[in-house]
Amino acid sequence: MDPAIEVKDLSVVFSSGNKEFTALDGLNLSIPCGQVFGFLGPNGAGKTTTMHVLLGFISATRGEARIFGTDVRESIARRRIGYLSEHPDTYRFLTGRELLTMAGRLFLIGRRQLASRIDEILPLVGIGEAANRKIATYSRGMMQRICLAQALINDPDLVILDEPTGGLDPIGRMDIRKIIADLKARGKTVFFSSHELSEVELVCDHLAILSKGRLVAQGPASKIIPPGESLEKYFMKVVNNP
Amino acid sequence: MTRILTIASTVWMEIIRKKDVYVLLILLGTLLMALVSLNVFGLGGTVKYVKDLGLLMALIFSWILGVNISSRELPSEEAQGTVFPLLAKPITRAELICGKWLGTWSIASAATLLFYILITGVVQFKGGTFNLAALLQAFILHSLTLGIICIIAIAFSTRMNQDASAAMAYVVTGTAFFVVPRIPELMAQATGFSANVLFLLYNLLPHFEVFDMRKRLVHDFGPASWKMVLIVACYGVLISLVFFLAAWLAYRNKRFSRGNLM
């Protein structure tokens, strides 16, 4: 079985005029199906850049990336992905239900199946009653929830979440944890980045820590964190002394 | 095709929900006022003037509408960050461009149809008529012109912000409307470098004059041969495809900014 995500020697160099900036430097990752994988690192470490390569938004300068064995540059690779972006925003002129209908159609889901999927997903993200209201009237937390709903509309096998709990209140964070636990129970792979280390500790099986575009730690959460040490303390140690 | 239609229908909903339709109503009202006010100058009985002015205004208004709505679609996706969840779905950038074009072109064409209906109504009110076959041909060719205008604006918007792409689209399409038909006259007097520039412009820019059937309608010349309409339509499709290609080449590897999205 192909891994959910496979990244080999991935490098991304941004150039502006004569200046070059290495956002990712020889990243290697192999994430089997069914894992909840926490992708950590300080700001500017290359987490979002990695996600953007996986989603085909940007091309790698060197190396390769595959999703379920398909090259990420092919649009077909995104059929089994759900993605929640770092700054979730969407078409505010649509209602929540219309947004999900639009997202479902882009995955070519049939009308009946889509309607039942929407009915299933709206209560899951806690948008049930507001589904027929325009998104322009939603709070920031509700915006985050409806964007998460559109990421899950195709019942994806791989969910990529970039800072999914940012901007959410404690209840919202708990809901996200429940959704991630539910996805894991259903054998889905979750790849997510977060600065909330306590959240990561609670939900992740495996961790990878990135610093200045390089992988500085990787492995099962229970093994890489030394006994008696918190993830936060370990994170600070490896990021400051890679 | 479903994905393209989904994007296009979202463009329609945006235009309607964001009240852009009011701009259209204002344009329609302006057109109606202009046509009716011809009486003020004692020209009300002259149906030709009503036709001429009405069709000219329909052309200008649809041009403005086409450029304005087409030039903002892709830049606003990027500015609001909605391009990320959109492209995270199994949609290609070519499909996104096609969907945006289909949405903006169909809206501009629908608006043009409303303009034509209004003009026909006023012309009939003043005792005149249009040859229906010629009117249909004029509408088809007008709509094809809008297709080219929309894809030119979208092509610029793949690499520019909304204001810059609208400005560039106005310059290029404005030159195509008003300068290109005069180039043969200008070339007769030009020499050297300026002659080469004029030659280049004449061959690079679309020839909107071949889509323009206003004189035929105003002077009741009757319809053109459908064979000619077909040839001109093929030319319009070809020009549109050239700009589609340019838009896709500029957009296919574009790296989106992710700063200041909130």
| CATH number of the domain enclosing A156 | 3.40.50.300
Under an 8 A CB cutoff, do B3 and A75 touch? no
pLDDT for the residue numbered A242:
54
Question: How many domains is chain B built from?
Answer: 1
Under an 8 A CB cutoff, do B10 and A102 touch? yes
pLDDT tens profile A155-201: 898 999 888 877 677 887 787 888 888 888 888 899 988 877 777 77
For residue B235, being part of any structural domain is answered with: yes
For residue A32, being part of any structural domain is answered with: yes
Range of the domain at A46: 5-85+151-240
For residue A111, being part of any structural domain is answered with: no
For residue B215, being part of any structural domain is answered with: yes
For residue B256, being part of any structural domain is answered with: no
For residue A165, being part of any structural domain is answered with: yes
For residue B85, being part of any structural domain is answered with: yes
Under an 8 A CB cutoff, do A89 and B82 touch? yes
For residue B261, being part of any structural domain is answered with: no
| Mean of the per-residue pLDDT values of chain B | 86
Question: How many domains is chain A built from?
Answer: 1
pLDDT tens profile A31-75: 888 888 888 888 888 888 888 888 888 888 888 888 888 888 877
How far apart CA B48 and CA B222 sit, in angstroms, is 14
**Which residues of A fall within a CB distance of 8 Å from B17?**
93-94, 134
pLDDT for the residue numbered B253:
81
Regarding beta strands A62-67 and A70-71, do their DSSP bridges make them parallel or antiparallel, or are they unpaired?
A: antiparallel
How far apart CA B227 and CA B233 sit, in angstroms, is 10
Segment B241-255 shows an average pLDDT of 90
Residue A123 reports pLDDT greater than 50? yes
Considering CB atoms only, which of B18, B84, B90 is closest to A93? B18
pLDDT tens profile B21-62: 777 778 777 777 777 776 655 554 577 778 888 888 889 889
What is the model's pTM?
Answer: 0.85
Residue ranges with strand state E in chain A? 5-16, 19-31, 36-40, 62-67, 70-71, 81-84, 158-162, 189-193, 206-211, 214-220
Q: Report residue B198 as tokens.
A: 């004029």
Give residues with Cβ within 8 angstroms of A201, minimum separation 6: A221, A230, A231
Q: Report residue A37 as tokens.
A: 């994988």
Segment B193-221 shows an average pLDDT of 87
**Which residues of A fall within a CB distance of 8 Å from B92?**
75
| Mean of the per-residue pLDDT values of chain A | 84
Q: Which residue of B has its CA nearest to A154?
A: B89
Whether this model's ipTM surpasses 0.85 comes out as: no
One-letter amino acid for residue A149 of the chain: A
For residue B190, being part of any structural domain is answered with: yes
Considering CB atoms only, which of B18, B90, B255 is closest to A75? B90
For residue B70, being part of any structural domain is answered with: yes
pLDDT tens profile B63-107: 998 999 999 999 988 888 888 888 888 888 999 999 999 999 999
Segment B236-257 shows an average pLDDT of 90
For residue B105, being part of any structural domain is answered with: yes
One-letter amino acid for residue B199 of the chain: F
How far apart CA A111 and CA A100 sit, in angstroms, is 12
Residue ranges with strand state E in A116-164? 158-162
Segment A208-232 shows an average pLDDT of 80
pLDDT tens profile B9-18: 999 988 888 7
